[in-house]
Amino acid sequence: MKIKLATAQDIDAWMALVEQVRDVFPGLETAQAMEEHRATVLRFMETSSAICAMGDGQMAGILLFSREASELCFLAVDPNYRRQHIAQKLVASMLTQMEEGKDISLITYQENDPNGQAARAFYKRLGFSEGRLTKGFGHPAQEFILKR
Ligand SMILES: CC(C)(COP(=O)(O)OP(=O)(O)OC[C@H]1O[C@@H](n2cnc3c(N)ncnc32)[C@H](O)[C@@H]1OP(=O)(O)O)[C@@H](O)C(=O)NCCC(=O)NCCS
């Protein structure tokens, strides 16, 4: 498994993975939303803020982050590649890019959301703690914070 910064050359493979998981991400429901997301991903790629995991020439996991906001913005692993610590490696790679000593935040699902079971267990396992309840794309959400 190779973890690397993704570039514009990776956009089609990246979006193919997004397509596979879009059902569990509020805000990706329409074709237009997917087009806008593609443009967003390209901007993250241009600023070296998109990390991917490649296995057998296939994109197995993807992560977007913001250095400025010290925020993990998007994370997904191909269902066929889950529970192989790929997400854990993506987050470890992101941490090397973030300013030291600064807390890292993200927005994920609330506790009662079946779509959020894996994500919430994952973030807690990595040491994130639960923060304020909020909304993401109009959907109930919760902030998680990694204290550093
Ligand atoms: C959440 C997600 C990214 C985890 O990816 P992953 O590569 O399978 O996670 P890892 O293998 O790195 O998991 C590391 C640890 O997290 C915990 N964990 C991960 N998935 C879990 C699950 N489904 N149930 C319970 N614990 C889980 C485990 O402790 C795991 O270690 P272990 O397998 O040795 O027990 C993946 O399930 C996913 O893409 N889900 C759909 C999209 C999503 O929810 N993204 C996050 C939105 S904010």
Q: What is the pLDDT of residue 8?
A: 98
- Say if ligand 1 is within 6 A of residue 135 CB: no
Residue ranges making up the domain that contains 45:
2-146
Mean per-residue pLDDT of the chain = 97
Provide the number of structural domains found in the chain.
Answer: 1
Q: What is the DSSP string of 63-119?
A: EEEETTTTEEEEEEE-GGGTTSSHHHHHHHHHHHHSPTT--EEEEEE-TT-GGGHHH
Q: What is the pLDDT of residue 56?
A: 87
Residue % of the chain over a pLDDT of 70:
100
Torsional class of 51: left (φ above 0), alpha (ψ -120 to 50), beta (otherwise): beta
Angle at 97 between CA 95 and CA 101, to 5 degrees: 60
Instruction: For residue 97, give the CATH number of its domain.
Output: 3.40.630.30
Q: What is the pLDDT of residue 37?
A: 98
- Say if ligand 1 is within 6 A of residue 44 CB: no
- Compute the average pLDDT of residues 53-77: 96
Ligand 1 center–CA 32 separation, angstroms? 29
Per-residue pLDDT of 13-61, as tens digits, reads: 999 999 999 999 999 999 999 999 999 999 999 999 999 999 988 999 9
Q: What is the pLDDT of residue 24?
A: 95
**Closest atom of ligand 1 to CA, residue 115:** 44
- Count other Cβ atoms within 10 Å, centred on residue 137: 12
